């Protein structure tokens, strides 16, 4: 038997239920209110609007110029005659988007001495390209200061620099192998599992609920999973919780009899420690979710509910990256292959994992841009369905 769930009700603001998102509320003139999602057929317009609204006027032209370059690189990658250079064009698109974001957030305004912050460590030419790795370099103070673009993205999404949690604290870099990185890519994941003969690592979250108790001024969230979603892949409850990083900060609870909505076996967990608020739970919701969003992956869809959320069951000692970062890093690696070993890019595209790489290059960039548009706007942005 597990503990009873904490007493509470699903959170609402002015009688409107609050749907889970990374930014469910926005500050108004007097208080926080529910924030709607943005429907956009083009993420670039959302990013540009955010830059114009949020960037210091002195540096706004730099951010807009970086965005314009990013858009040009992206459009060039879509030309029908472009194939071999496509990953390189897409990486430079990504990098300029991150530069624009960094300027908008006021983290860095000068990129005269900027570096990728990443380097590809290729295997010997006769070896399997999947045995390669990437080195990641944190930003360091100096004269002149070395600016590593990737670390700004990583720090924004995690709240700390690359060296945080580094097993080798004396090292000025972190390393991740390609075989450790590729399973962290949600789009095309089943193509990877099929080619690698591995079990799936992503488990869909059936429900995410935001709850509060007005008498104690506490709010929290719960996650529900269909038990079959992880047991069919051979995960026990223990290996699922530990691999997904849900064994710390979360507690499993029982379902009450009146909560059973169907006969499917379910598992529910809730935050171990609720978050206290003053007058309104909406004042702390965004910060509460920001503290736990590293647990989630998501896919963007054109149909309700417009987002599907997942957790990632990592292997032992894996360095698990934020979703946006893992996509960025893999595109950097493929761009490096295209640039320095173009003949081996053909080998990857036509080899055992070719379908995965083709899916990644074809469909992941637009998903990534929508995720970044959401970061710029601090509001969920989704593709407008064609009606």
pLDDT tens, position by position, 168-211: 655 678 999 999 999 999 999 999 999 999 999 999 999 999 99
Question: What average pLDDT does this structure show over 237-249?
Answer: 92
Q: Are 32 and 48 in contact (CB under 8 A)?
A: no
- Taking the C-alpha atoms of 335, 338, 340 and 346 in order, what is their torsion angle to the nearest 10 degrees? 140
Q: Is the pLDDT of residue 258 over 80?
A: no
What tens digit of pLDDT does each residue of 58-110 get? 999 999 999 999 999 999 999 877 778 899 999 999 999 999 999 999 988 88
Q: How far apart are the first and last CA of the chain?
A: 49
For 4-41, b/e burial (b = at least 16 CB within 10 A) is: ebbebeebebeeeebbbbbbbbeeeeeebbbbebbebe
* Residue 387's pLDDT band (cuts 50, 70, 90): very low
What tens digit of pLDDT does each residue of 290-331 get? 999 988 999 998 888 889 999 999 988 899 999 999 999 999
* Residues composing the chain: 387
pTM for this entry: 0.94
7: left (phi over 0), alpha (psi -120 to 50) or beta: beta
| Spatial distance between the Cα atoms of 14 and 20, rounded to a whole number of angstroms | 16
SS3 125: coil
Cα 11 off chain centre by: 25
Show the tokens assigned to 21.
């998102």
Sign of CA dihedral 54, 56, 61, 65: negative
Q: What is the mean pLDDT of the chain?
A: 90
Q: Is the pLDDT of residue 213 over 50?
A: yes
Q: Is the pLDDT of residue 164 over 50?
A: yes
| Spatial distance between the Cα atoms of 376 and 288, rounded to a whole number of angstroms | 19
Q: Are 283 and 32 in contact (CB under 8 A)?
A: yes
- Pairing type for strands 174-177 and 297-300 reads unpaired
Percent of the chain at pLDDT > 90 equals 67
What pLDDT is stored for residue 68 in this prediction? 98
The helix, strand and coil proportions of the chain, stated in percent and rounded to the nearest 5, come to: 40, 20, 40
DSSP state for residue 172 in the 8-state scheme? S
What pLDDT is stored for residue 3 in this prediction? 85
Question: What average pLDDT does this structure show over 264-271?
Answer: 89
| Spatial distance between the Cα atoms of 164 and 187, rounded to a whole number of angstroms | 27
| Spatial distance between the Cα atoms of 301 and 223, rounded to a whole number of angstroms | 20
| Spatial distance between the Cα atoms of 283 and 286, rounded to a whole number of angstroms | 8
Question: Which residue from 212, 159, 178 is spatially nearest to 12, judged by alpha carbons?
Answer: 212
The H or E element that residue 350 is part of is: helix 342-350
What pLDDT is stored for residue 165 in this prediction? 67
* Residue 141's pLDDT band (cuts 50, 70, 90): low
Q: Is the pLDDT of residue 384 over 80?
A: no
What pLDDT is stored for residue 372 in this prediction? 97
* Residue 266's pLDDT band (cuts 50, 70, 90): confident
| Spatial distance between the Cα atoms of 199 and 193, rounded to a whole number of angstroms | 6
Between 81-85, 241-245, 262-266, 330-334, the lowest mean confidence (pLDDT) is in: 262-266
Show the tokens assigned to 294.
């590293």
Q: Are 150 and 115 in contact (CB under 8 A)?
A: no
Report long-range pairs for 12-15 (Cβ below 8 Å, ≥24 apart).
13/280, 13/282
SS3 294: helix
The H or E element that residue 121 is part of is: strand 118-121
| Spatial distance between the Cα atoms of 322 and 324, rounded to a whole number of angstroms | 6
Question: What average pLDDT does this structure show over 103-130?
Answer: 88
């Amino acid at each position: 038997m597990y503990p009873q769930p904490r007493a509470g009700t699903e959170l609402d603001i002015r009688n409107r239920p609050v749907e889970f998102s990374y930014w469910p509320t926005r500050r108004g003139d007097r208080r926080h209110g529910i924030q709607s999602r943005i429907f956009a057929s083009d993420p670039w317009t959302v990013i540009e609007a955010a830059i114009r609204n949020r960037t210091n006027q002195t540096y706004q032209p730099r951010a807009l110029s970086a965005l314009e370059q990013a858009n040009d690189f992206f459009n060039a990658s879509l030309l029908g005659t472009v194939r071999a250079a496509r990953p390189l064009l897409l990486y430079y698109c990504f990098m300029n988007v991150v530069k624009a974001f960094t300027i908008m957030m006021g983290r860095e305004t000068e990129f005269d001495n900027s570096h990728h912050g990443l380097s590809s460590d290729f295997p010997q030419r006769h070896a399997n390209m999947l045995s390669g790795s990437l080195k990641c370099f944190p930003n360091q103070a100096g004269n002149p200061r070395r600016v590593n673009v990737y670390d700004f993205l990583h720090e924004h999404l995690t709240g700390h620099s690359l060296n945080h949690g580094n097993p080798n604290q004396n090292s000025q870099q972190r390393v991740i192998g390609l075989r450790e990185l590729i399973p962290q890519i949600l789009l095309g994941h089943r193509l990877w599992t099929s080619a690698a003969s591995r079990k799936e690592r992503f488990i869909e979250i059936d429900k995410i609920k935001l709850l509060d108790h007005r008498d104690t001024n506490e709010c929290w969230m719960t996650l529900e999973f269909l038990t079959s979603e992880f047991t069919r892949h051979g995960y026990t409850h223990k290996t699922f919780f530990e691999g997904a990083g849900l064994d710390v900060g979360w507690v499993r609870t029982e379902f009450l009899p009146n909560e059973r909505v169907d006969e499917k076996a379910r598992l529910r967990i809730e935050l171990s420690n609720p978050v206290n608020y003053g007058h309104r739970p909406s004042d702390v919701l965004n910060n509460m979710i920001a503290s736990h969003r590293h647990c989630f992956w998501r896919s963007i869809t054109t149909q309700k509910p417009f987002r599907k959320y997942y957790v990632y069951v990592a292997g032992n000692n894996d360095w698990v990256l934020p979703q946006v970062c893992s996509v960025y890093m893999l595109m950097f690696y493929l761009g490096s292959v295209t640039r320095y070993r173009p003949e081996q890019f053909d080998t990857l595209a036509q080899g055992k994992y070719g379908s995965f790489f083709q899916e990644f290059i074809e469909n992941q960039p637009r998903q990534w841009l929508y995720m970044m548009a959401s970061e710029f706007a601090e509001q969920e942005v989704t593709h407008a369905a064609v009606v």
